[in-house]
Amino acid sequence: MLHVQPLRRRRVAAALAGALALAAALPVAAQADYPNKPVRVVVGFAPGGPTDIVARLVAKHLSTDLGQTFLVDNKAGAAGNIGTAEAAKAAPDGYTALVTGINLTINPYMTDDLKVDSRKDLKPVKMVAITPTVLVVRNTFPASNFKEFAAEVRKNPGKYSSAAPGSSPMLATVLYNQLTKSEIVPVPYKGAAPAMTDLIAGHVDLSFATLGSVLPHIKAGKVKALAVATPQRDAMLPDVPTFAESGMKDFRFDAWVGLVMPAKTPDDIVAKLSKSLDKLVASKAYEEQLGNAGLTPIKGGTPESYARVIDEELGLYEKLAAKARGTAAR
């Protein structure tokens, strides 16, 4: 008589082992009741800056809309790299997210110790805000408009710009130099706040700052705004002409803020968060809150469109950042 029971057990065991191996290779599956516990929202910058402001508005909205707590966790340092790395290495279960900015596409070319691949290690959810670059100068700078500024820079090369290493103001300075054959020197600072402090005090000449970081100082009359890098004049600065109006139609430099998650986060979780954020970016209250900080909501974006922006910028900034690194090393 043949004994088939042990053979069946071995087959069942083999099938079970294969199923477990397959499950381990697949992305983490989403839970139908997601989120069912608090979600950590990492920010790679200190409280109070534009990225942090957006993160807190995003976290507040998601908490209300999805019925679960979203907690902002500031992990400042290394131009956002510390927070970025921590979020990228977190479990891809939907309970760690990162609110980040343009540093995600600049830092890969500006730092040697970045352990994150912006394309492979993170999954875009939605771009939610954008802020333009604005040229500001110290109040004693001998120019009251962009034309006078350009003439002054040509006449007296070597003017100094305040900028954090790897930041959009530094790259904007390098881009301006390339387009105009100027010799403005970016002075590296540890962040936007000390850079603005020295500009206000007159220790440096100018900055190609993000509007979100400099708007309060412009309104307070502590610095002079000469041009803004938007297609049309910004509603927050209606009296400040665009670079295009001033004769530089090719100068455009935006800084965005968006939500990303670890790369293997399930697509249905990403879709759920993106859909919820559609409500936020469409709300008038959010638009007004961003406006007070010099930012504008981005409406109608998708995870796919956000991924394309990241990919395009990584290609665009590679050469520009190389020049910026060379400048910063002087």
**What is the SS3 assignment for 280?**
helix
Task: Give the pLDDT band (50/70/90) at residue 88.
Answer: very high
Residue 15 within any structural domain of the chain: no
What pLDDT digit, counting tens, does each position of 65-74 carry?
Answer: 999 999 999 9
Task: Give the pLDDT band (50/70/90) at residue 277.
Answer: very high
Total number of domains in the chain:
2
- Kindly state whether residues 137 and 120 are assigned to the same domain: no
What pLDDT digit, counting tens, does each position of 280-295 carry?
Answer: 999 999 999 998 888 9
Which pLDDT score, from 0 to 100, does residue 7 have?
Answer: 42
**What is the SS3 assignment for 123?**
strand
Tokens linked to 107: 């830092």
Which CATH number characterizes residue 267's domain? 3.40.190.150
Model confidence at 101: pLDDT above 50? yes
What pLDDT digit, counting tens, does each position of 226-244 carry?
Answer: 999 988 888 889 999 999 9
State the pairing for strand pair 39-43/96-101: parallel
Which pLDDT score, from 0 to 100, does residue 103 have?
Answer: 87
Range of the domain at 198: 132-228
- The arithmetic mean of pLDDT across residues 298-311, rounded, is 94
Q: By the 8 A CB rule, do 225 and 218 touch?
A: yes
- Kindly state whether residues 264 and 303 are assigned to the same domain: yes
- Kindly state whether residues 70 and 219 are assigned to the same domain: no
Residue 183 within any structural domain of the chain: yes
DSSP annotation of 141 reads S
Model confidence at 266: pLDDT above 60? yes
CB count, 10 Å around CB of 55? 28
- Kindly state whether residues 199 and 287 are assigned to the same domain: no
Which pLDDT score, from 0 to 100, does residue 120 have?
Answer: 94
Query: pLDDT > 70: what percent of the chain?
Result: 86
- Kindly state whether residues 125 and 259 are assigned to the same domain: yes
- The arithmetic mean of pLDDT across residues 155-172, rounded, is 81
Residue 136 within any structural domain of the chain: yes
- Kindly state whether residues 54 and 122 are assigned to the same domain: yes
- Kindly state whether residues 213 and 161 are assigned to the same domain: yes
Residue 31 within any structural domain of the chain: no
Tokens linked to 111: 């730092």
What pLDDT digit, counting tens, does each position of 5-52 carry?
Answer: 444 444 444 544 544 444 444 444 556 789 999 999 999 988 988 899
Q: What is the pTM of this model?
A: 0.78
What pLDDT digit, counting tens, does each position of 177-190 carry?
Answer: 888 999 998 888 87
Residue 237 within any structural domain of the chain: no
294-318: b or e for each residue (b if 16 or more CB lie within 10 Å)?
Answer: bbbbbeebebeebbebbeebbeebe
Q: Which amino acid is at 219?
A: K
- Kindly state whether residues 154 and 218 are assigned to the same domain: yes
Which run of H or of E encompasses 266?
Answer: none
Which CATH number characterizes residue 221's domain? 3.40.190.10
Query: Rounded mean pLDDT of the chain?
Result: 86
Residue 238 within any structural domain of the chain: no
Query: How many CA atoms within 13 Å lie on the side-chain side of 215?
Result: 20
Residue 234 within any structural domain of the chain: no
Tokens linked to 37: 């516990």
Model confidence at 127: pLDDT above 80? yes
